[in-house]
Chain A
Amino acid sequence: EPEVTQTPSHQVTQMGQEVILRCVPISNHLYFYWYRQILGQKVEFLVSFYNNEISEKSEIFDDQFSVERPDGSNFTLKIRSTKLEDSAMYFCASRAFGRAAGPTDTQYFGPGTRLTVL
């Protein structure tokens, strides 16, 4: 069964450093997303990406964050200058193209990258 993959599984960084989290979405999917989950809290939307541009972003996704699809398979999230409060699990998700609700409306999540900012 196709799946979303993410690397690394765990990233430890010093405050102020840049990190890049990598995702390989399911191959025929066209919508891509990043979410984060701070330990003990709910999953929160960061950004959605379609047709090589951001479709929607949350208040969390400020100027320190950026996303890129550098080639046909990878989808990356960059945090320019990490803060302590960026420590969280970051999930990538992807979705097939479709206008009807149902299976094509489903977002499939990768296993996540645990980011620890010291």
Chain B
Amino acid sequence: RKEVEQDPGPFNVPEGATVAFNCTYSNSASQSFFWYRQDCRKEPKLLMSVYSSGNEDGRFTAQLNRASQYISLLIRDSKLSDSATYLCVVTRGAGTASKLTFGTGTRLQVTL
């Protein structure tokens, strides 16, 4: 079983749509969770950390369900500039040198 699983997509949505991405992780010892965004042939960039209480940053909302080992990202009012690959990322420990474990990413294409 993959450590971090994501639907690869692509998700093709019109501008203004709401889109949701899901991710599951297999290691119950995982402690920190993130969504990164990666544009074509560029480096991953942190979009947001994900907390158990859920968190929102503008049009983006992330949720974590530790019991189900499930992470989600909701994008409201999609913009053309949101087109990218969204990477679900987990790591074992806060305060350690712990590696990031990446999912394969979900590709989003927002169209006019």
Contact = CB atoms under 8 A, between A and B. Distances in A.
A42 B105 contact: yes
A41 B104 contact: yes
A58 B75 CA distance: 33
B95 interface: yes
B44 A105 contact: no
B42 A99 contact: no
A100 B96 CA distance: 9
Most buried by B among A91, A99, A105: A105
A25 interface: no
B91 A105 contact: yes
9 contacts: A35-B100, A42-B104, A43-B102, A56-B98, A58-B99, A91-B43, A101-B31, A105-B32, A109-B43
Interface of A: 31, 33, 35, 41-45, 48-50, 55-56, 58, 89, 91, 93, 95, 98-112, 114
Interface residues of B, number: 25
Residue of A42, A55, A91, A93 contacting most chain B CB atoms (<10 Å): A42
Contact of A43 (B44, B45, B49, B91): B44
Contacts of A41: 104
B101 interface: yes
Contacts of A45: 99-101
Given A89-B41, A105-B95, 4 more contacts: A48-B97, A98-B95, A100-B95, A106-B49
A112 B45 CA distance: 12
B99 A56 contact: yes
